[in-house]
Amino acid sequence: MRIETMPTPGIVAGRVRNGVIIWLLPMVAIAVLGAARLAYPFHGDQALFMLGARTLAGGGTLYVDFWDCKQPGIYLLYLLAGRFFGFDEIGVHLFELVWNLGWAAAVISTTRSWFTRDWLRMVAPLAVIAPYYAAAGSWHLTQIEGLANLPLVACLAFAVTAAQGRNRVALMMAASGLCAGVVVSLKLILAPLPAAFWLVALAWAYRERRIGIVEASVRFILPAAIGMLVPLVVLLLWFAARGALEALFWTNLVYPGEALRTAPMQSPKILLSSLWWLLQMFAPWFVPALVALVAGWWSRDLLCWMLTAWLAIGGVAVLIQALSWWPYHFLLFCTPIGLLGTKGLDVAIARLRANGGTRRAARLATAVALGILFAPTLVTWAGKANAALAMDAFASEHRVAFQRAVDPDFDSAWREARIIGDVNAHPGTI
């Protein structure tokens, strides 16, 4: 018979202290990283999103009083950002920083039992988000693919919990579906990603728990579908109340096909340059990520399977967008590359110890590895942050000078913004 012993107060206090550190340090670090981006100027896409959000704030209707081919979710997020923090660059980027802190929290929660060392849970959100803040410029900040990471991580986490558990499976899948609805409202072409998570969860549950078709339908598929429909139905009712359902369906379902038929395909050089940008952002993390992929597939690691599906289906989603292939599309891969890279570090440390390495040697190797992994991120971010602080970008009288310095396209965008903002430039409505 095994006798359970209660942990001593000292052990409990140590666990609480470690838990606080695991959550607090990455949050503080990400807040510092994001603060240097608050005054960055809007690029064309972000300026358009803000124009749409201002139209909504003024009582206008999307796709009627303002038209763009993007899904409604991004305009609603910009509307929230404007309502809470102000309809300007700092307000939107501050909202994004809060959103990204939620992204970091979701990463920490998702990896609660994935790593063999608790401190790697602290490294994981930095591996995911720090390269983004280092590499992102005015064109990449607050883009759809970057913002979609938070609901995608949450969708994945709930599906993992449902697959591994026997209680509250339907509730977890409904929550996963709810997050999927948010993803679809942001970008319709990302819809296969949540579906891939659910299929992987079903396959894993069938293999490990031998669930049947009836149980899979009732406890997995049906709750996920209902959860996903909730935000989408709310959006449909909102557009119906404004008499804009036809405009919604034409913009999101008909127009993309017409654009693909008539618009020229993007140059493959753009795709290669975008891939190069991704490589520069995450270059040191690819090797440990590959290690984690190999180890995870051999050990039937559910989260590794999910992240592999994310990379595969996300890659297809990017390639389908042959009219663009812009660098910011590859922000979709921040989470899987960062998480797999951290897991690869975990696997390497375990192998070193298993092969007779001492604790001291393991610590030294870990310190060197972390230095190599984060060095490009820190160097790149420091250069951009220095420019922000040196030019006193938070002072409104210096902000335009700062924005002109950090964005080579600022002058042309500024002229376009003034033309769009001048209501007397052309008669009639836009």
Q: What is the DSSP string of 24-41?
A: HHHHHHHHHHHHTTTTPP
Q: What is the DSSP string of 263-297?
A: SPPPPHHHHHHHHHHHHHHHGGGHHHHHHHHHHHH
Which residues have a Cβ under 8 Å from the Cβ of 266 and sit 6 or more positions away?
Answer: 322, 323, 324, 325
Report in angstroms the alpha-carbon separations of 331 from 44, 136, 160, 326: 18, 9, 23, 10
Q: Find where tokens 């209902």 sit.
A: 226
Which residues 6+ apart lie within 8 Å of 316 measured at CB? 192
CB atoms closer than 10 angstroms to residue 344: 24
Q: Reply yes or no on whether the pLDDT at 421 is more than 50.
A: no
| Tens of pLDDT, residues 171-213 | 999 999 999 999 999 999 999 999 999 999 998 888 877 777 7
Flag whether 243 is in a domain.
Answer: yes
Give just the sign of the alpha carbon dihedral 157, 106, 76, 142.
negative
Q: By residue range, what is the domain housing residue 230?
A: 148-253
- Does the residue 247 lie in any domain? yes
For residue range 224-258, what is the model confidence (pLDDT) as tens digits? Answer: 999 999 999 999 999 999 999 999 999 999 998 88
Residue 156 lies in a domain: yes
- Domain membership of residue 401 (yes or no) is no
- Work out the average pLDDT over 149-175: 93
Q: Residue type at 113?
A: S
User: Average pLDDT of the chain?
Assistant: 85
Q: How far apart are CA 217 and CA 225, in angstroms?
A: 10
pLDDT at 383: 67
**Model pLDDT, residue 41:** 85
**DSSP secondary structure code for residue 250 in this structure:** I
pLDDT of residue 300: 84
Is 153 contained in some domain?
A: yes
Rg (CA), the chain: 23
DSSP secondary structure code for residue 62 in this structure: B
What 3-state class would DSSP assign to 179?
helix
User: Model pTM?
Assistant: 0.88
Within-domain flag for 196: yes
Residues 6+ apart with CB under 8 A from 72: 62, 185, 235, 239, 248
Q: How confident is the model over 159-169, as a mean pLDDT?
A: 88
Question: Residue 143's Cα: distance from chain center in Å?
Answer: 10
Mean predicted confidence (pLDDT) in 13-42:
81
Residue 367 included in any domain: no
Give me the number of domains the chain comprises.
1
DSSP 354-389: HTT--HHHHHHHHHHHHHHHHHHHHHHHHHHHHHHH
pLDDT band at 140 (very low <50, low <70, confident <90, very high): very high
**Residue type at 8 in one-letter notation:** T
Kindly write down the DSSP assignment for every residue of 82-138, as one continuous string.
HHHH-SSHHHHHHHHHHHHHHHHHHHHHHTTTTSSSTHHHHHHHHHHHHHHHHH--T
Does the pLDDT value for residue 423 go beyond 50? no
Whether pLDDT at 153 is above 50 = yes
Asked if the structure places residue 61 within a domain, the reply is no
Distance of CA 11 to the CA centre of its chain: 36
